[in-house]
Amino acid sequence: MVQPYRHEPFTDFTVKENAKAMEEAISQVKKELGQDYPLIIGGERIYTDNKIVSFNPAKKDEVVGNVSKADKELAEKAMQVADETFQWWRKSTAQMRADILFRAAAIVRRRKHEFSAWIIHEGGKPWKEADADIAEGIDFLEYYGRQMLEIDKGKEIVSRPIENNRFGYIPLGVGLVVSPWNFLFAIMCGTAVSPMVTGNTVLLKPASATPVIAYKLMEVLEEAGMPAGVINYIPGSGSEIGDYLVEHPRTRFISFTGSRDVGTSIYEKAAKVQPGQKWLKRVVAEMGGKDTMIVDSDSDLELAAESIMNSAFGFQGQKCSACSRAVVHEDVYDEVLERVTELTKEIDLGNTTEKNYFMSAVVDKGAYDKIMGYIDTGKNEGRLVHGGKGDDSKGYFIEPTIFADVDPKATIMQEEIFGPVVAFTKAKDFNEALDIANNTDYGLTGAVITNNRNHIEMAKEDFHVGNLYFNRGCTAAIVGYHPFGGFNMSGTDSKAGGPDYLYNFMQGKTYSEML
């Protein structure tokens, strides 16, 4: 019997021994930077001349690793291996597959700070955020293992005296998993192992900015007993191998997490039935957000300010759930804005591979330029209250930035910025606050700070987001506690870390035998 699921506890780095352990892990990882990593196809290590160079966003001349890059030919090889492997893997027992996940969780847990140190380097994560990212990956392993065992029990259906009926789930086939760089361990791990534990085989294409940590997970899964060919590691260009595999007739499903633009184009390409294709591809596409926190007139204003600051600037605002819009009741607007500004002034910013700063750099030059562009736009759309400057001389650093008095329809209120920028707008009452909150194309997360029970009920009915939180920030969903996924252009609402998630990668089969 497995222990009941509970989430992995977070590390408190104000405790000296914990901080010391992390410093040691960072020094150890520093010694291992700059190595070459191969692809893994059917267990075989394949080195290519063409490499993806992964670097530290906070110190751009520091190379984290040189990772081999798959081309179409290697993508095709991986597809064939995954297809062949599926023929027997689909018959493996749920218990065996779950046990691989449980063992992998134990291995990562034992090496937690080392894994955090890798993603501090590769993702520019602050320590607390890195620790939470690794904890979430462990949670996915533990939770999906248990969910698979539950699903394996089947579901009750009715039989008659003349027949014996049974209903259960079987896997789909070969799936393409395309993961983002922002939860470089957790989402990559969760999206790779969920189809695997359900009996599918996987082509894992991690984000090009963060392929090294994905290689580390592959090593762990192999150590935990995952057979060759079950998950194949094929970093490569989205437009080259991504498109090739999305359109491949043997691809049975695609699990994508990333931007709206890429997600919608995958959805469209996957819909086209290719010559030789025998099914309709299933697509899970979890995409962007434009997440709002509402502050009511009757509310704990200190809680509101702290929650906005943490949700807007944690991990440099590079979370799909990040608070990028604060909609505040006019009676408390000035006070909340002032307090958020005060708290933001205390934020320290720097290379987190040197020290435990609250914020580090944004992921790369593309992100830096895009965010700085939105800050320029913001200067015409609102009042710059704090921040606004960037420095990309050593790494891609951007100050935490606050704009006030922004029109709800303004660009910085509508488009996903994916950086440390929050825009404030004033609402005359709670109804207007809800209208503003709902006026984007997205619907991922939202939060309401209020002491008014009626307003809580109103928000439950009318605040149209997949993850709605009360009296807390809008980030930090926990596997098994807050199933995660959004409405509208935020995606297919697959609810990662929830009790229904694994069904995305399975199909129901009815068996009826005459007696």
Residues that bind ligand NAD (CB under 6 A): 178-183, 187, 205, 207-208, 238-239, 242-243, 246, 257-259, 262, 266, 286-289, 320, 416, 418, 444, 486, 490-491
Label each residue of 267-285 as H, E or C. Answer: HHHHHCCCCCCCCCCEEEE
> Residue 104 or 444: which CB sits closer to ligand NAD?
444
Q: Which of 114, 122, 286, 399 is catalytic?
A: 286
The 10 Å Cβ neighbour count of residue 148 is 23
Spatial distance between the Cα atoms of 385 and 389, rounded to a whole number of angstroms: 12
Q: How far is the CB of 235 from ligand NAD (least distance, A)?
A: 9
Residue whose tokens read 């990309």:
392
> Residue 147 or 179: which CB sits closer to ligand NAD?
179
Q: How far is the CB of 208 from ligand NAD (least distance, A)?
A: 5
Q: How far is the CB of 497 from ligand NAD (least distance, A)?
A: 10
Q: How far is CA 210 from CA 126, 216, 276, 407, in A?
A: 16, 11, 34, 36
Measured in whole angstroms, the distance separating CA 62 from the mean position of its chain's CA atoms is 25
> Residue 229 or 235: which CB sits closer to ligand NAD?
235
Q: How far is the CB of 401 from ligand NAD (least distance, A)?
A: 18
Measured in whole angstroms, the distance separating CA 436 from the mean position of its chain's CA atoms is 26
> Residue 235 or 400: which CB sits closer to ligand NAD?
235
> Residue 359 or 433: which CB sits closer to ligand NAD?
359
- DSSP, collapsed to helix, strand or coil, labels residue 199 as coil
The dihedral built from the CA positions of residue 249, 219, 499 and 447, taken in this order, carries a sign that is negative
What are φ and ψ of residue 220, in 5° steps?
Answer: -65, -45
Of 269, 218, 227, 226, the closest CA to residue 248 belongs to 269
Q: How far is the CB of 242 from ligand NAD (least distance, A)?
A: 2
Q: How far is the CB of 413 from ligand NAD (least distance, A)?
A: 16
285 bridge partner residues: 256
Spatial distance between the Cα atoms of 116 and 125, rounded to a whole number of angstroms: 9
Q: Which of 320, 323, 399, 416 is catalytic?
A: 320
Q: Is 286 a catalytic residue?
A: yes
Spatial distance between the Cα atoms of 375 and 6, rounded to a whole number of angstroms: 40
Q: How far is the CB of 209 from ligand NAD (least distance, A)?
A: 7
113 bridge partner residues: none
Q: How many CA atoms lie within 13 A of 451 on its CB side?
A: 6
Region label for 6, one of left (φ > 0), alpha (ψ between -120 and 50) or beta (otherwise)? beta
Residue 48 sits at the vertex; the CA angle it makes with 44 and 50, to the nearest 5 degrees, is 150
> Residue 70 or 336: which CB sits closer to ligand NAD?
70
> Residue 77 or 329: which CB sits closer to ligand NAD?
77
Structure tokens at 151: 């699903």
**What amino acid positions are annotated as catalytic residues?**
286, 320
